[in-house]
Amino acid sequence: MPGRGTQKVNKKALADFKVGVDNVIFSVDTQQNRLLVLLVMRQDQPFLGQWSLPGTLVRNGESLEDGAHRILAEKIRVNNLYLEQLYTFGGPSRDPRESPSSFGVRYLSVSYFALVRFEEAELIADGVSGIAWYPIKQVPKLAFDHNEILEYGYRRLRNKLEYSPVAFDVLPEVFTLSDLYQLYTTILGENFADYSNFRARLLKLGFLSDTGLKVSRGAGRPASLYRFDAEAFAPLKDKPLVFI
């Protein structure tokens, strides 16, 4: 019964969109061995008061990346933030504002991804909105389809850890092989690989250089401190490689 409570939609007409950018920003608290994701509390409808990924809608003349950087600059101070595009979510009715009784416009989300160093990232509390580094295991039900976007980002993170030297972006300048293993374990879960295999594999790849320094922690033998040798890694950059 057309016309009764439903609005007739021309199926062949082009859809009109607003475009959002949503950021999946990860960090690792290497002291506590926790993987964290940056969440903000929504100050507007819909989903007022619910946690969400930090995002915004793209403005006139603004590129997608510029929009993503604009909103992040309001939430977090961090050096050299490198955002990587993750995925675009654009199915109909992913946003309640799309309903014909609301704005009748589609909302598409282009998501971005970054991994930042915990010690160097400073959250900006603006006195109004809530903001938090949430441990990944304790993330609540998020606004919109943000749990799905987060899950996609988490998969990308694990993938990057396996295929790229992204771990060295978040470790301190010098680290022990045990620190490195711990970081992998924090993100990939226990038993992703045996420690001695992991250690042998990473050393064999040839871009960890021994600083000659050692560090004592607790009871064990002093452990060697390594650093990531970007120069030794350079020729491997475009080669297929697995890290674990």
- The contact pattern for a second copy, residues 157-186, with x = CB under 8 A and - = no contact, is -----xx-----------------------
Q: Does 92 bind a second copy (CB under 8 A)?
A: yes
Q: How far is CA 25 from the centre of its chain?
A: 3
Q: In the bound complex, what is the minimum distance in angstroms from residue 25's beta carbon to a second copy?
A: 19
Listed in sequence order, the residues at least 6 apart from 19 whose beta carbon sits closer than 8 Å to its beta carbon are 57, 58, 64, 107, 108, 109, 110
Query: Of all helices (H) and strands (E), which one includes residue 123?
Result: strand 122-123
From the CB of 119, what's the least distance to a second copy, in Å? 28
Determine, following the binding rule CB under 8 A, whether residue 84 of this chain makes contact with a second copy: no
Among 57, 200, 215, 236, binds a second copy (CB under 8 A): 57
Q: Are 78 and 171 in contact (CB under 8 A)?
A: no
Question: Is 19 a binder of a second copy (CB under 8 A)?
Answer: yes
Q: Does 70 bind a second copy (CB under 8 A)?
A: no
Stretch touching a second copy by CB under 8 A, among 9-17, 26-34, 117-125, 133-141? 9-17
Tokens linked to 211: 């600083």
Query: Does 96 engage in binding with a second copy (CB under 8 A)?
Result: no
Applying CB under 8 A, among 36, 78, 110, 180 the residue interacting with a second copy is 110
17 vs 82 by CB, closer to a second copy: 17
Report d(CA 191, CA 202) in Å as an integer. Answer: 16
Distance in Å, CB of 163 to a second copy, minimum: 6
Min separation Cβ 240 and a second copy, Å: 4
- Contact with a second copy (CB under 8 A) among 85, 99, 209, 211: 85
To 10 degrees, what angle do helices 195-205 and 177-188 make? 110
215 touches a second copy (CB under 8 A): no
Which of 93, 111, 110 is CA-nearest to residue 102? 93
- Angle in degrees, 0-180, between the axes of helices 146-163 and 177-188, rounded to the nearest 10: 150
Residue pair 35/135 in contact (Cβ under 8 Å)? The answer is yes
Would you call the peptide bond into 46 cis, given omega within 30 degrees of 0 as the criterion?
Answer: yes
d(C-alpha 169, C-alpha 201), whole Å: 19
Contacts with a second copy by CB under 8 A lie at: 9-19, 57-64, 85, 87-88, 90-92, 106, 108, 110, 162-163, 240-244
